Amino acid sequence: MNNIAKSTCAECHHIFPRTEMQQITVKENAGTSFGVSQGRNGKNRRYSGRTYTRNRKVWMCNSCAAKHKGKESSAIFFFAAVLIIVIIMAI
């Protein structure tokens, strides 16, 4: 008898028992909207664009989850580095 639920890893697409998996929240791009709003007399034209992201929960095996987390923290590190350079340049 084996009652352990299994899921497909969202990253490597292999099937693992859920005891060897983690549920990861991933941000996915849900689309981009571009809008041009025009004021009276054609003046004050405003462009607005924004991207929509939504959070999705997926199952990942432990090794893919670790890789995914590594990717996220390196993105934060890169952002912090850029921020520090901008601050130094401003002074």
C-beta of 15: minimal distance to Zn ion in Å? Answer: 10
Site for Zn ion in 24-83 (CB under 5 A): 61, 64
Cβ-contact 60, 22 below 8 angstroms:
yes
Let me know: does 3 contact 13? Beta carbons within 8 Å.
Answer: no
Distance CA 25, CA 44 (A): 40
Check residue 12 for interaction with Zn ion (CB under 5 A).
yes
Among 3, 8, 9, 20, indicate the residue that binds Zn ion (CB under 5 A): 9
- The residue among 20 and 28 lying less far from Zn ion, judged by its C-beta, is 20
Instruction: List the structure tokens of 33.
Output: 């909207």
Binding site for Zn ion (CB under 5 A): 9, 11-12, 61, 64
